[in-house]
Chains A and B, each alone.
Chain A
Amino acid sequence: MSKVIKLKKGLDIKLKGEAEKVVKAGGKCTLYAMKPTDFRALTPKLTVKVGDVVKAGDALFTDKANPGIKFTAPVSGCIEAINRGERRKLLEVVIKADSEITYRDFGKADVNQLSREEIITRLQDSGTWPLIIQRPYGILANPEITPKAVFISTFDTAPLAPDFEWILKEEGKNLQAGIDCMQKLCNGNVNLGVKEGIPQNAVFNQLKNVNITYFEGPHPAGNVGIQINHISPINKGEHVWTVNIQDLAIIGRLFTEGHYDARKTIALTGSEVKEAAYYKTMIGAQICCFTADKLKNEVHQRIISGNVLTGTKVSDKGFLGFYANQITVIPEGDTYEFLGWATPGFNKFSASRLFPSFLCPNKHYTLDANYHGERRAFVVSGQYDKVFPMDILPVYLLKAILAGDIDKMEQLGIYEVLPEDMALCEFVCTSKTPVQKILEDGIALMMKETN
């Protein structure tokens, strides 16, 4: 029997608006986009212009630092717009989709018969390579190196996260092809983090050629970063690759179907959604395909591509992020509250015991995007440790980053964390410290200084 790791630290934030387990047809979606901003530290080089006709799997832009890595169209169609921001920074390449998708053919193949180089070329050409993320730093995987291992989490514990076991129950064949592909890339050390207690016949338990570790506990137990830390932590000089489990199926389909099939199922969730459910879609779909007439529109709303802890704020004219598996809609909460800090606060959620929420652990809450307080210096101690199940001292790491002390950052474990792993620290912080932003800056500094 495989190993079971029980995590005690963490926090499950119970929100209203969990997706019902039905797959619904979304509205017809015509616009799709690839956003270079979804990729950390990427400098894109555009290879198309407005009006070009592309097939699904044709390159839209490439990585300037590593021209072999292509970012391709998830659908076939015509380039509708190329949107740039300040200083002509490339923000979006928008495609108007054909009614019937035509694919660029890469040919079906048995992964196990291909060499590592052939696999890498195929992943790069098809645009599935960026689905692989390299740690430290959470950047695009460097095809020049062989990582010490590949880690894949099969479950997400974030608030209102989709249930991958249910979404992928028929994708066993593609997942296995994806695993076999990863086996080749890292010379045979693929690790799967599985939620403790799923049925023995669940799709993840059927996968072969993979080391399964079971995890139990509150969020962030499902974060791959936490799982790596408990299975085989990243030391200086080591690299590991990670893939989201739904993206692994896309990689698998590249071999079983022979083309870049960017289909995925996402969860539309949150307290401001009328019918929270699952929707079949493709990478990069426009948000309004899901949200049009499905939102309550009672209050000022915030739409998030991703979950409430780590997602990106988008407008309904915006697009689903490359790695996103859910859309969450919550109230914006941009209102004043009279003596808010003094009220009993029966509808407020807090990890501390300063609100009655700790007495009713099973209640679900409607939380908005208000800070509920003002920014302060670090005052309360020991707060982050309770929600951060790693052998790292979070406040000391953050202080090392704030001081720009590269040596200390390295010694205190910056290689092992990404902002998503410390998102809960940011949530619980009494002083409203921008934890993820600080960590993001720290990672940028490390990459700049150490290359």
Chain B
Amino acid sequence: MNFLRNYLDKQKPKFEKGGKLEKFRSVFTGFESFLFVPNRTTTSGSHIRDAVDLKRTMIIVVIALVPALLFGIYNVGYQHFKAIGVLAETDFFQMFFFGLWKVLPMIIVSYVVGLGIEFAAAQMRGHEINEGFLVSGLLIPMIMPVEAPLWMIALSTAFAVIIGKEIFGGTGMNIWNPALLARAFFFFSYPSMISGDAVWIAGDPTTTDAISQATPLAQMALGQPLTYTSADMFWGLIPGSIGETSTFCVLLGALLLLLTNVASWRIMLSVFVGGFLMSLAFEPVSHVEAYQQLLMGGFAFGAVFMATDPVTSAQTNIGKYIYGLLIGAMAVIIRCINPGYPEGMMLAILLMNTFAPLIDWFVVQSNIKHRLKRAKVNA
């Protein structure tokens, strides 16, 4: 790789201060550090450093998302061909490539728009480009309905990155999970596009007719009997947002995140516990078994990939339990009580994102009180 290194070394002066391409310094260092771990060595404090960095951490999350993404792509095709009644004549690859043809543009739009804004913001501030959007950029299409128009994905992504992240100072400073914020923006700005039953199945590309089909959540919200079995909901051959349908694939990702310790097991566990307990309490109203609540919609996906976002979740160990329990409980409450919007996970997580600093504040205060008390006992 020496030729590449030599090439970069030759180009580097152009991007330094005073160079011809100074305006693109952030972009250059972004690509450079993507290709080569920099040669910078420690100047203060510990002489040796852990091999881990944010790129490594983020790439693990992306890998954890892959099973759900691949399944989601397949499921887009599956649902489409099932709805038009030609499932038996369609083979696996046809379904997969139909899904890919639908989903890939969404991923590209999300990355191009999001990374474009990140690059620009980093350059304006003289910062380096942050890895955070590698994950957000993949999450955004995965939590959208397949029939979401591309321009809306672009707009939601732009909103999430600018208002959700950059105005606070970039990755690490944001209050809300950027991907969920994109989804919330989409939902509240274009409610007609995301509610109802017409957006969950990819329409026929040759005609403009939409295909209408209720998700399990919608059926529950309307008090209709579920037409899907628990096994369907677990394996994921149901309509829903692209990446969220297969609880099994989400759990595969969860397994990787927990094995590598990238996501907090405290949060994941307590979201499921909170959700399950609240579902038990709501069984008489919802007419759905408690465990089925956890299989439906984006519950598992939210618990594994959204609630555990380290920046927007509670950061103290005790805080993480409280935060997780409340997310699980709130998600089910919103699902069962609010008929207008059947999916409670998004709002529950955003709400608890808002309150995470408050939860932490109480934990920090108890540490402070503890120390003051100790001083008084001794005095």
CB-CB under 8 A for A430 and B54, given A354-B262, A393-B367: yes
Q: A residues within 8 A CB of B36? A: 336-340
In the bound complex, what is the Cα–Cα distance between A378 and B130 (angstroms)?
A: 12
Q: A residues within 8 A CB of B86? A: none
* Interface hit among A80-88, A182-190, A290-298, A304-312: A304-312
Please name the residue on chain A nearest to B311 by beta carbon.
A379
Chain A 422-451, CB-CB to B under 8 Å as 1, else 0, gives: 011011111110111100000000000000
- Indicate which residue in B56, B320, B363, B368 contacts A341 across the interface (CB closer than 8 Å): B56
A236 within 8 Å of B (CB atoms): yes
Q: How far in angstroms is the closest Cβ of chain B from A132?
A: 23
- Indicate which residue in B35, B260, B310 contacts A339 across the interface (CB closer than 8 Å): B35
A382 within 8 Å of B (CB atoms): yes
Number of A-B contacts (CB under 8 A): 208
B243 within 8 Å of A (CB atoms): no
A3 within 8 Å of B (CB atoms): no
B59 within 8 Å of A (CB atoms): yes
B264 touching A381, Cβ below 8 Å: yes
Main secondary structure of the interface of A (DSSP, over half): loop
A419 within 8 Å of B (CB atoms): yes
Taking residues whose C-beta sits less than 8 angstroms from the other chain, chain A's interface range is 35 or more
B227 within 8 Å of A (CB atoms): no
- Indicate which residue in A339, A385, A412, A430 contacts B52 across the interface (CB closer than 8 Å): A430
In the bound complex, what is the Cα–Cα distance between A353 and B370 (angstroms)?
A: 33
In the bound complex, what is the Cα–Cα distance between A185 and B39 (angstroms)?
A: 49
A371 touching B132, Cβ below 8 Å: no
B370 touching A379, Cβ below 8 Å: no
* Interface hit among B111-119, B168-176, B189-197: B168-176
Q: B residues within 8 A CB of A431? A: 54, 172
A371 touching B42, Cβ below 8 Å: yes
Q: How far in angstroms is the closest Cβ of chain A from B229?
A: 36
In the bound complex, what is the Cα–Cα distance between A368 and B42 (angstroms)?
A: 9
A330 touching B48, Cβ below 8 Å: yes
- Indicate which residue in A302, A338, A353, A434 contacts B47 across the interface (CB closer than 8 Å): A302
Main secondary structure of the interface of B (DSSP, over half): loop
A330 touching B47, Cβ below 8 Å: yes
A338 touching B51, Cβ below 8 Å: no
Total interface residues on B, using CB and 8 Å? 60
B169 touching A377, Cβ below 8 Å: yes
Chain A residues numbered 147-178 whose CB sits less than 8 Å from any CB in chain B: 159
B128 within 8 Å of A (CB atoms): yes
In the bound complex, what is the Cα–Cα distance between A334 and B1 (angstroms)?
A: 17
A235 touching B378, Cβ below 8 Å: yes
- Indicate which residue in A367, A373, A375 contacts B48 across the interface (CB closer than 8 Å): A367
Q: A residues within 8 A CB of B131? A: 376
Q: A residues within 8 A CB of B259? A: 353
B375 touching A380, Cβ below 8 Å: no
In the bound complex, what is the Cα–Cα distance between A49 and B33 (angstroms)?
A: 51
- Indicate which residue in A330, A382, A391, A429 contacts B50 across the interface (CB closer than 8 Å): A429
B212 within 8 Å of A (CB atoms): no
Q: B residues within 8 A CB of A205? A: none
Q: How far in angstroms is the closest Cβ of chain B from A321?
A: 14
CB-CB under 8 A for A382 and B48, given A335-B39, A430-B53: no
B46 touching A427, Cβ below 8 Å: yes
CB-CB under 8 A for A304 and B56, given A235-B378, A336-B37, A392-B367: no
**B interface with A by C-beta (< 8 Å):** 1, 4-5, 33, 35-42, 44-57, 59-60, 128, 130-132, 169-173, 259-262, 264, 310-311, 313, 315-317, 320, 363-364, 367-368, 370-372, 374-375, 378-379
**A interface with B by C-beta (< 8 Å):** 13, 159, 233, 235-238, 302, 304, 308-311, 313, 328, 330, 332-342, 345, 348-355, 357, 367-382, 385, 391-393, 395-396, 411-413, 419, 423-424, 426-432, 434-437
Since A372-B37, A411-B371, A411-B372 are in contact, a sample of 13 more A-B pairs with Cβ atoms closer than 8 Å, ordered by chain A residue number, is A308-B46, A335-B39, A341-B37, A352-B52, A370-B37, A377-B173, A378-B172, A379-B132, A379-B311, A382-B320, A427-B46, A430-B54, A437-B44
